[in-house]
Structure 1
Amino acid sequence: MPAPPPGADPRPLQLGLRQNAAQFTLLVVVNALVGGMLGQERTVLPLLGEREFGLTAYTAGLTFILVFGLAKAATNYVAGTFSDRYGRKPVLLAGWIVAVPVPLLLIWAPSWGWVILANVLLGVSQGLTWSTTVIMKIDLVGPTRRGLAMGLNEAAGYGAVALTALATGYLAESYGLRPAPFLLGVAFAALGLGLSGVAVKETREHARLEAASHVARADGRHDHLHERLSDREVFVQTSVREPALSSASQAGLVNNLNDGLAWGLFPILFAGAGLSVSRIGVLAALYPAVWGVGQLFTGALSDRWGRKWMIAAGMWLQAIALVVIAVADDFAAWAVAAALLGAGTAMVYPTLLAAIGDVAHPAWRARSVGVYRLWRDGGFAVGALLAGVVADALGVRAAVWTVAALTAASGVIVAVRMYETHHQGPGSVGEGPEV
């Protein structure tokens, strides 16, 4: 019998959340640290650009999100391909190594160009680390509880974004915009690299185990999606051709388009209304906090109720929240809107990943996740560019209205084009391995 690959667990492999509870929990912790690396910027960086570097044009100020989105989107694709080719753990470690200099560059940046460089590295790091933790969790749990697994993963990541955004707001209020808020990032990078190197185990063999026991859907869907797809075929199916995969990809793009808006322009909108940095930090934290906690429930609910209408309704709820933000002018109303935006995003985020896992064959699922995340995180770049151009031309509120309309339209596309991916019936999720 051949020896297991380096870093793999020598015990017989089993699929399931309970059977892999220790490794799954460790990966949840690692993804929380990944989220913390992103959260260190949510409150502070837009204000840093405006107050320390004198950026007055919205488009210029949003360049850090633009380069972050482009870098992360491209790296997501690479992460999926490399995870299939070389294994998950090496990709995870590479992501943490790239993360180490990010907070240091933000602390010492003498010009906005250094901040741009830091966000290129942050995008590469997030693409490698977050994509890999998603893929590894899908590997471990098998087909029956993907929604719950993705809910736990995204809850940990965005819960950490929220807590870090809140903490950095208070640190910035007390000690200034630099260096105190970014010292959290130094600690997160050190912990993430250490845990990933010492304790995380390779999970690629779990995907191979699931592929070996794959049972086709009884309704005949996905029969054309056999296991031997080229990289180009995976890209085309996920991006354009396969109705559920491509619907998920466009919804993911639009979801992160409005997240890019929230990240880059909301702090400036709130500051313009006279809110303090600490109160801006509360609002910046509230949205990802509800998003994070909500995913503990929405991912599991999508395992019971299905994916399609959870996604469509979540996009429409986000659109309503953006409309409230566009018309409101005080902390209380914005807090309600931020909570609604977080709830809508919680309905969408883990459910989209679970839908990709439902449709994609285990043999090319990591690549499909990478393509989906390429489009989804490309939304950061599209959102930064669109929101910046519209805000410069017509004002911040006009940018919010524009993104609200796009988000509502995305929900319509899901409602019209996507089919229910969480199939119930013979050979389905409820009765055995299913893709």
Structure 2
Amino acid sequence: MRGLRRWWDDTAGGLPATFWYLWSGLLINRAGAFALLFLSLYLTAARGAPPSLAGLVVGAYGIGGAAGTLLGGVLADRWGRRATLLAAHLVAAGLMATLAFSTHLAVIAALATLVGVAHSMPSPAFVAAIVDVVPEARRSRAFNLQFWAFNLGMAVASLLAGVLAEASFTALFLVDAGATLAAAVVIALKVPETLGRRPALTPRAAVGRRPGLHTALTDRTFLAFVGLTFLLAVLTMQTSTIMPLAMRADGLRPSAYGLVVALGGALIVAGQLFVPRLIEPYRKSTVLAVSTGLMALGFGTLTVADGLPLYLGAAVVWTAGQMLAAPPNAQINADLAPPELRARYQSVFYLTFPAASFVAPALGGLSLEHLGERHWLVVGALGLLAAAGHLLAGPPRESRVAALRAAAAEPVRSAR
């Protein structure tokens, strides 16, 4: 019992109450965010749309997501984290309820685009609020719990979505709207505004800085990290875009693909909470290099995979890499952001995921078609390239973080 209590203290102890309310809002949000998982099926089965048009509508949701990520970052730094989270959740709930009763395909496409905007707006605000309230020494654990909640919520959503879709697509959208509204209620009642007064820029920090997205988009150290994260996201997207095609080519049934995906989700839910203690003694760049190396090994193994056992074994390897990468990835992103531009930096960082969701299937499909199983060698090479990049970029990143901390401490020393 004492050992369990010590483990829990190491994993989640010392985190402020506001973090747990944010965590609860995120979990409720993700557990209810299942309608879009079945959007293409809804369009083809219930609204008679051809597959090509269904693909365009789903793509419109992705375009809206990219716009919403940037908009959420800007608003979270201007309006505040709480205001942005509330606005995004309330708008998303209203749009989902409207979508439940919409029948015209053009209206559904427009609503799907707007839902993409509303669904993506909270991400930068959530992370910025966590950084605002969690002490630096506990942030790695906080981000690990955030990643765990996200995956747990998605696992619940996947189970509920199938049941609701069998019963009624209208119910699917309405329950999604209700869950989004419930998350908004938690935020409204329990989450205070975490954005304090903007810290005054020190002369050293102010030189050459124009506040806004321009700063994040011209920060070379940060953009190098974003580029490496984009490679990691491209690897991660293989499981939902190219791997199903490869498994079908190997004669495996859709149920086999579902088993591989379920195994990855189960590993994350069962093991993610143990990751912070495991990686704590090591430098973040080393952990990220090992994690992307594991992902390279896992996906590279698919070159010789022709049956379900090898796919399951490879999934264990690349899921371990994903689990190791989550806390340091989020921590570095938070460390590199100036406090007054925290949410904007988050929004640029989160653009890597919609970008990867486009690049992975577009180029991956061509690669699989022309290279066959050798496609997985290319994916493995990308992972090794990212691993080497993290080792090379680690020292400059650490120097940059130290400089930002020194600049943040300078006004305090001057006041004293």
Q: TM-score range, shorter-chain basis?
A: 0.7 to 0.9
Q: 1:120 to 1:390 in 2, by over 3 A?
A: farther
Indicate if the aligned counterparts of 1:292 and 1:346 stay in contact, CA closer than 8 A. no
1:263-295 residue CA offsets vs partner (Å, 9 max, x unmatched): 334445556645355x54443333344345554
Equivalent position of 1:33 in the other structure: 28
CA shift at 1:361, angstroms? 2.4
2:235 alignment counterpart: 258
TM-score of the pair, normalised by structure 2: 0.76
Q: 1:208-249: CA deviations, max 9, x gaps?
A: 5xx58x9x9xxxxxx7687964225522344xx22xx22320
Residue in 2 aligned with 1:10? none
Is the counterpart of residue 131 in structure 1 residue 107 in structure 2?
no
Partner of 1:94: 87
1:256–1:20 CA distance, 2 compared to 1 (3 A): same
TM-superposed CA distance for 1:63, in Å, is: 5.0
1:87 is displaced (CA, Å) by: 0.5
Q: Secondary structure at the match of 1:190?
A: helix
**Range moving further from structure 2, 30-39 or 101-110:** 101-110
Query: Does residue 247 in structure 1 map to residue 224 in structure 2?
Result: yes
Aligned 8 A contact 1:76 1:128 in 2: yes
**Conservation of the 8 A alpha-carbon contact between 2:241 and 2:360:** no
Q: What residue identity is the alignment partner of 2:216?
A: F
Q: Cα gap change, 1:281/1:114 in structure 2, threshold over 3 Å: closer, same or farther?
A: farther
What is the aligned partner in structure 1 of residue 211 from structure 2? 230
Which structure's CA Rg is the greater one? 2
CA contact (8 A) 1:76 1:131 kept: yes
Paired residues of 1:163 and 1:289 also in contact (CA < 8 A): no
Structure 2 Cα separation of the partners of residues 50 and 398 of structure 1: 34
* Maintained 8 Å contact 1:357/1:365: yes
Query: Which residue is 2:310 aligned to?
Result: 333
Q: Does 1:191 align with 2:182?
A: yes
Structure 2: how far apart are the matches of 1:62 and 1:427? 46
Q: How many residues align?
A: 392
1:84 and 1:76 mapped to 2: Cα distance? 13
**Which SS does the other structure have where 1:144 is aligned?**
helix
Q: Which amino acid aligns with 1:192?
A: A
* SS of aligned partner of 1:201: coil
AA matched with 1:410: A
Q: Contact 2:252/2:308 (CA < 8 Å) preserved in 1?
A: no
2:387 maps to: 411
The residue aligned with 1:275 is 253
Superposition map of 1:73-92 within 5 A: 73-92=66-85
Q: How far is the alpha carbon of 1:138 from its aligned partner?
A: 0.8
Work out the percentage of aligned pairs sharing the same amino acid. 21
Distance between the aligned counterparts of 1:283 and 1:112, measured in 2?
34
Deviation at residue 326 of structure 1 after TM alignment: 5.0
Distance 2:303 2:33 in 1: 25
Change (3 A) 1:154 1:115: farther
Measured after TM superposition, the shift of residue 316 of structure 1 is: 1.9
Q: Alpha carbons of 1:165 and 1:284: their partners in 2 closer, same or farther (altered >3 Å)?
A: farther
Q: Distance in 2 between matches of 1:274 and 1:49?
A: 27
Letter paired with 1:380? S
Task: Please tell me whether the aligned partners of residues 138 and 146 of structure 1 are also in contact (alpha carbons under 8 angstroms).
Answer: yes
1:298 pairs with 2:289: no
Aligned pairs (5 A) from 1:14-33: 21-33=16-28
1:145 counterpart SS class: helix
Letter in 2 for 1:275: R
RMSD value, Cα: 4.1
Give the structure with the higher percent helix.
2
- Which letter maps to 2:71? V
| Conserved 8 A contact 2:72-2:123 | no
2:236 and 2:265 map into 1 onto residues whose CA distance is: 10
Q: 1:264 to 1:428 in 2, by over 3 A?
A: closer
1:309-364 CA-to-partner distances (Å, cap 9, x unmatched) read 11122122122222234543433333333333322122223312201222322222
Write the distance in 2 (CA, Å) between the matches of 1:50 and 1:315.
37
| Alpha-carbon distance between aligned partners in 2 of 1:199 and 1:262, rounded to the nearest angstrom | 37
Question: Structure 2: which 5+ runs fail to align?
Answer: 1-11, 411-416
Q: Secondary structure at the match of 2:191?
A: coil
